[in-house]
Amino acid sequence: MRYKPHNYQTQATGFIINHDEAAVFLGMGLGKSVIALTAIWQLVLDYFLVQRVLVIAPLRVARDTWPQEAAKWDHLTGLTLAVAVGSKQDRLHALAKSAMVTVINRENIPWLVAHYGAAWPFDMVVIDELSSFKNHRAKRFTTLVKMRPYVSRWVGLTGTPASNGLMDLWAQFRLLDGGSRLGRYITRFRDRWFVPDKRGGMQVFTYKPRAGAEDEIYEAISDMTLSMRTTDHLTLPELTLTTTKVKLADQEREVYERLEQDLVIELDGQVVDAANAAVLSGKLLQLASGAIYDENGDAIAVHGAKLDALEDLVEAANGQNLLVAYWYKHDLERIIERFPQARALKTAEDTAAWNNGEIQIGLIHPASAGHGLNLQVGGHLLIWFSLTWSLELYQQTNARLYRQGQTQPVTITHLAAEGTLDEAVLKALDTKNVTQAALIEAVKTQLTTTKENSLCM
């Protein structure tokens, strides 16, 4: 696919290239991976300033997103990438490739440091979700910081780096610049910019910034920091549509395909018409989202892949409010079970609470997202957990955030399970071909494919 970067993406790529130590604060869905990969390509293959790059990311992002992005864009041709996740044997196999870019999940950083020691081969490190290194006592931080002398370039990517307060910043920037801006030691950072808040006797439980600390801290890091949230960098509101591919594990895929085959066999020998196509489509989309209703109306959980992907997006949002669109009642129930802080937006009181910023994860059904429902004040990030064939409801739901009065760039993310009917629905929505004929054709394709696969077994 041809890469046509937005102005802010070109600016962010240039910033990474021109700074040995760079913190890029970029909102969810605005293309962190391709921005960084474009900079890496130029540094490795154009300027010859870097030889090997280590990318550290959350597990599923490391396993799926980075390799998908590297393979997706034409301009990244020639950049080799290996994914060091999974078993020890899998990781060692990936390292043995000596790829230009090695992607690893953050949980394996202590293992990687122990494996290489002084023979550390990476002269550039990119940390995706830098804010996950905010705990200076965590093993991932204490081990990685030891590798600073071996690395000439550091890049940190995150949405909001200080979601829990300014104290979060110290460990993140200690990794990036070695402590030259905020200090080498947390105690000196704390003594300089904070005062005791809650305490019991002589013991201090929490600290609060002293007057003027916020401005001073941001001024101290301003030369190495690029924020993509200001109107200087984006023409607001800008709409970004993105898809997060959800990969089913082999066992989950087997369950999906077995149930899919059973459903399709029920139609064997029948004409696929609107009625049974709609039924089959609904069941397959349920499966793609992770559960399905049985004949008694009870939900049977099949997989949690989309819940895991949603968890990654919640983390990436870093405290920003998320509006999540669901279609099936079992989606709602499973989301709330995984995320107790989530709340369905059903009443005027719910809507008011959302717009007041009191709900971190708001859950909305497209059929209830009617015209005139204003949700743009409460957030700018929408995630489609389960998809709908209804173009009207799809556009109507998107317009709850992307509408007059929205002051932030809006990102709409679709969770699509690979190899499922999700992909057909997304294609139909993209081409605005969501007629009954398109639904029937998609189900016919699913029917044919499943039959062919079963015959090959």
Mind listing the pLDDT tens digit for each residue in 56-87? Answer: 998 878 988 899 899 989 999 999 999 999 99
453, pLDDT greater than 80 = no
CA triple 94-100-136, angle to 5 deg: 75
**By mean pLDDT, which of 22-31, 203-212, 264-273 is the weakest?**
264-273
* Integer Cα distance of 24 and 15 in angstroms: 8
Structure tokens at 29: 């869905």
Please state whether the predicted TM-score (pTM) of the whole model is above 0.95. no
**Could you tell me if 72 and 105 are in contact, meaning their C-beta atoms sit under 8 angstroms apart?**
no
Mind listing the pLDDT tens digit for each residue in 255-269? Answer: 778 777 776 655 445
Residues 6+ apart with CB under 8 A from 447: 264, 267, 272, 280
* pLDDT band per the 50, 70, 90 thresholds, residue 448: low
pLDDT of residue 73: 94
Query: Which domains, ranges and CATH numbers included, belong to the chain?
Result: 7-227 (3.40.50.10810), 239-245+303-435 (3.40.50.300), 251-287+437-456 (no CATH)
371, pLDDT greater than 50 = no
Paired with 24 in beta bridges are 157, 226
Q: Report the SS3 class of residue 320.
A: coil
Q: List, as one string, the DSSP characters of 158-218.
A: ES-TTTT-GGGHHHHHHHHHTTTTT-SSHHHHHHHHEEE-SEETTEE--EEEPTTHHHHHH
Q: Mean per-residue pLDDT for 274-289?
A: 79
Choose between 5 and 445: higher pLDDT.
5
Is residue 64 packed enough to be buried (19+ CB in 10 Å), middle (13-18) or exposed (0-12)? buried
Whole-number percent of the chain with pLDDT over 70: 86
* Integer Cα distance of 399 and 316 in angstroms: 23
* pLDDT band per the 50, 70, 90 thresholds, residue 233: very low
pLDDT of residue 268: 45
pLDDT of residue 283: 86
pLDDT of residue 230: 38
**Could you tell me if 187 and 207 are in contact, meaning their C-beta atoms sit under 8 angstroms apart?**
no
338, pLDDT greater than 60 = yes
* pLDDT band per the 50, 70, 90 thresholds, residue 298: confident
pLDDT of residue 445: 59
* Integer Cα distance of 24 and 133 in angstroms: 15
pLDDT of residue 454: 54
* Integer Cα distance of 243 and 102 in angstroms: 23
148, pLDDT greater than 90 = yes
451, pLDDT greater than 60 = no
pLDDT of residue 273: 47
Q: What is the mean pLDDT of the chain?
A: 86
pLDDT of residue 444: 57
32, pLDDT greater than 50 = yes
* pLDDT band per the 50, 70, 90 thresholds, residue 123: very high
pLDDT of residue 400: 85
